[in-house]
Structure 1
């Protein structure tokens, strides 16, 4: 059976699970009393989820072409947000944007080509603009930041094409994990050992949030019929590290969010930061 068919079946299995959770969440958010401080913010986030979930699952129902379109679309927007935060010039932005389409495109058309040769080409592409411009002051910094962006955004997003039905499970589990982390941090993170911050990079992220994410990601993988210890660990660790990684980038850039256009979240990178590293680790443990 082809990966496209499997991905479509996985999206079909995930659809009632996601719809049920969205429905329950919508009722819960609508019932929040006006005195709840985050009421408005939670309603914005729910509306964003209500739009994003059908787009994500619908892409996989279209097969590998849909997965490619999803990966390329996410990659172009996320690469633009990253380039702005990293202060990259126009040339490096063009490299990141082109790679955001090309890497998932190769994963779709010729997945066997994504190996050592592709890695070498990414390194050359990252350094090419600075080398050709003869930048003696910031060329190395530009090349390093561009290479990091290539490894952080287009390469993981190629997993949406390469992983097939597993990509659907990872996407759903990461989304559930984000909600579980918020619930765990809110319910358990006010006092006690679980209230300790994970890292100075993101003081609001606590070990209580990790516990909540662990429960939610595990439940999501079970619900869509994809649970395995290795996949659960990849999604959980990837989700936690992805969140901290973007916090590190934003702190050095001196910004609160990667963007301001996505209601309740900020930018696209603020929404998919966990997904990127989770996809990368999933490819490590499954491919």
Structure 2
């Protein structure tokens, strides 16, 4: 199944970009300075990238803060036509903004998100709610449903979790994640890490690694201590990467899925 939207509102450019207008009021800030204040943003999906970004009409962007890029990037953002550096309060952020080559998006400027790329604007808002990492995809759903399925998780043959009261999280384009109460997890076999990630649908996650000698990647267990409302049912529960552990549901062992996380997990150094 394609991870990209297929609704009729989505348009395709000759460069392979997908885009559609959004009715959300979007603001992007660098520190206390509002750089973008837009009531007419468009969502853009780049080829081979499953999550969208925003582009904005020039008149809704602080163009007085943009400078032609001193060291423009090449081969990024679908062959972008022009890159800009952003200067705010004496700080110069290189290649923080760009324009797409597509005629459909002429007159629009897109920005990097600091929490995603390490550069660019560091605070974003849809209406009055702050969002993180990337815009929320209107074609994507996240449903967290309490269940009575019997879920067992094994790592290298050791049962590390066993529950009949999981919360199943269904997220478009990803395998079902099984969130398990802490009382049903062998926490003595896990060690907390300083790793954390952010998700625009679920919030900020904390992580644990396997304490044993099994050849598994670090940070393969996570939890949302303060999830966003859409995922409120998983608060404090623990989930395991299906890609790296063995999960049995109602007596049937699941195949390990191949997802965008598979390569990242296999590339991490083993602890």
TM-score for both structures, normalised by structure 2: 0.27
Asked which structure has the greater CA Rg, the reply is 2
Higher strand proportion, which one?
Answer: 2
